[in-house]
Amino acid sequence: MTARTPQEVRASYDAHRTVRQYVTQADGTPLPMPADHLDAILYAAQRAPTDATAQLYSFIRLVRPEVRAGVAELTTNAHIATASEAFVVCLDVRRVGRVLEAAGQEVGQWPAIAVHFGIGDAVMAGQNLLTAAEMLGYQGCWIGGVLNGLEGILDLLDLPAGVLPFAALTLGLPAEEPPLRPRVPRPLVVHEDRYRDGSEEELRHAVEVMNPIAARGDKPGDWVRLLRAYWAPGGSMEKREPHLVAALKRQGLWAGGE
């Protein structure tokens, strides 16, 4: 590949925006992605590197309108029904076990390892798919909202033991122009030689920097309020926690005690 300049590299990452409204056909149904585009993004996904050669992930491509509608409702993300393409990206330790069994071998017991490597592989393949789609002019959205309806998604998509959704992913031609969203200042994120806790002043500055990510219309953003809704007591992550634990147990991926 021809080397790009640092400015070009920054510019191509600045072109990334999470987009949730897509160009559709006149009747509101998804605008199909050309077959060669779909082929290229799926190729990119499978070119992701993978630990121990195992490729511990599967994508469920959501094709039928009723399946799209079902996952849209279960995840509370309506754009799953209107995107050109929508996938549920899963960790999958089932296939590697079946490869071993088909070769007459036994499969070890490693449920914590399964989650560690399976999520890693799923994320790398999914992000490859998204960036490839962005190169083709699409934008997309990762959807952690799968955790809002995990049990229902396991049922709807017939996900067997060893397979667990990490997130969904929608792709389409953008029908909105979101602003470039901020990130936490680099000194709080990139550490040198050892971990360093940021000072309270640095943390307060990070909140100032991040506030615009929570802006809605004319309302100024309040990042702490948004974080509270997700991560504070009674927030959505506490609500999701028991459902994730139940799904890990159901899929044979629970490494903790009872």
Query: Between 20 and 68, whose beta carbon lies closer to ligand FMN?
Result: 20
Query: Between 179 and 242, whose beta carbon lies closer to ligand FMN?
Result: 179
Query: Between 213 and 245, whose beta carbon lies closer to ligand FMN?
Result: 213
The least CB distance from residue 69 to ligand FMN, in Å, is: 17
Query: Between 52 and 180, whose beta carbon lies closer to ligand FMN?
Result: 180
The residue whose Cβ lies closest to ligand FMN is 144
Alpha-carbon gap, residue 160 to 113, rounded angstroms: 18
Query: Between 11 and 161, whose beta carbon lies closer to ligand FMN?
Result: 11
Alpha-carbon gap, residue 133 to 104, rounded angstroms: 39
The least CB distance from residue 168 to ligand FMN, in Å, is: 8
Residue with tokens 């959807």: 143
**CB under 8 A, 24+ apart: contacts of 58-62:** 58/90, 58/92, 58/95, 58/163, 59/87, 59/88, 59/89, 59/90, 59/125, 59/126, 59/129, 60/87, 60/88, 60/90, 60/157, 60/159, 61/85, 61/86, 61/87, 62/86, 62/87, 62/88, 62/168
The least CB distance from residue 126 to ligand FMN, in Å, is: 9
Question: Which residues are at the interface with ligand FMN (CB under 6 A)?
Answer: 17-18, 20, 77, 141-145, 167, 178, 181, 213
The least CB distance from residue 207 to ligand FMN, in Å, is: 15
Alpha-carbon gap, residue 214 to 181, rounded angstroms: 9
The least CB distance from residue 179 to ligand FMN, in Å, is: 8
The least CB distance from residue 42 to ligand FMN, in Å, is: 20
Query: Between 96 and 142, whose beta carbon lies closer to ligand FMN?
Result: 142
